[in-house]
Every structure is written in C-alpha cells, then in structure tokens.
Amino acid sequence: MDLYPDVMKAHGMIQENSLTYRFLPCLQHWSFQRSQVVITLGPDMQARVAEHYGASSVALPLWAERRQATKEAIQAYRDQRGWRHESIVFLYSGNLGLGHRFDEWLTAIVDLDPDSPITCIFSGNGAQRNKVEAFVQMEAHRPPPSISRIMSVKRTCPSILRQVTFT
C-alpha cells in the first residue's frame, strides 16, 4: 500500500535512520489529525492509518457494484477495443509505480504462444509506465512471432496487441 515513507524505504530511496525518514511520519500524523476526512482504499489501509497515525478514516470500496452484462454487450465492448471474442483478458488497472512488479508479467507475455487467447491490458500511470511502454516498443520491432502479437503503440491511448494493451 502506498503509505509514505514506507514505500520510499522499501525502494531504497530513503534510509530508516535518516532525518527525512523520521520527519515524514510526524508530518503525515500532523496532516491526518488536521484533515476533515482521511480516505483509504480499503480496510487494510484503514487499519494501518489508524495504527501508525492514530487517525480515523473512511474506507471506500474500489469496486463498483456488480451488474449482469449481456453477451451482446460484452462482445460489443470487445469489438470496440479490437479484442478477439475468445480472448481471456488479464487486466492490470492502477498505479504503475515503483511499489509494483511488472517483470514477471512482461516475461510471461514474451513467452506466450502467438495463437494464445490471452490478452493483457495495462491501464494506469506511474513511475514504471515508461518501462512497460519501452518493453512494448522493443517487442514491436522483434521478428515474428512476437510482432504478430503487437499491433500499435500510442502515447495517449496505446493499444499494443493482441497480447498487451495500454489505456
């Protein structure tokens, strides 16, 4: 979870014995205590905020209510995005930040059979977006069969593939 300075320490950006590391939790505590409301991304983060900063918070669910979609609506959605009807879609949606691992995903994508029904979708932004996009650009220039999995890459709304898509 993205609580600072924990994330910075985990990535070696800051040392635990540094003045900055000791100061940031004090600043965070001060800020939380003076906030009208602290919103967390779920009960685990809510518990951590209470434990580490003594702040009450509201946990907002990350998921919308489930609605039943018709097969026709699903196929139309897939058609709009250029996804094959038989595709199995894996979606990564959210922060492409330093606290998240992508090497395993990218390695697995390279190893996919060109005829695989798997489509991987990356939706989000963050410190590692350029890394993931660079991987896609590199794959787009490899000889077949890799190239058959990648259709195009665009900065604003890249859609790479059959195997990888950026939104």
| Per-residue pLDDT tens over the stretch 6-42 | 888 888 888 989 998 889 888 888 988 899 999 988 8
Residues 129 and 52 placed together within one structural domain of the fold: no
Residues 99 and 36 placed together within one structural domain of the fold: no
Strand partners, 95: 125
CA–CA distance, 42 with 35 (Å, rounded to integer): 18
Residues 149 and 82 placed together within one structural domain of the fold: yes
Listing DSSP states for 129-166 in one string gives HHHHHHHHHHHHTSPTTGGGG-----SSS---TTTEEE
Helix (H) or strand (E) holding 119: strand 118-125
Q: What is the pTM of this model?
A: 0.52
CB proximity list for 122: less than 8 A, separation 6 or greater: 92, 96, 132, 164, 165, 166, 167
Give the count of domains, the chain. 2
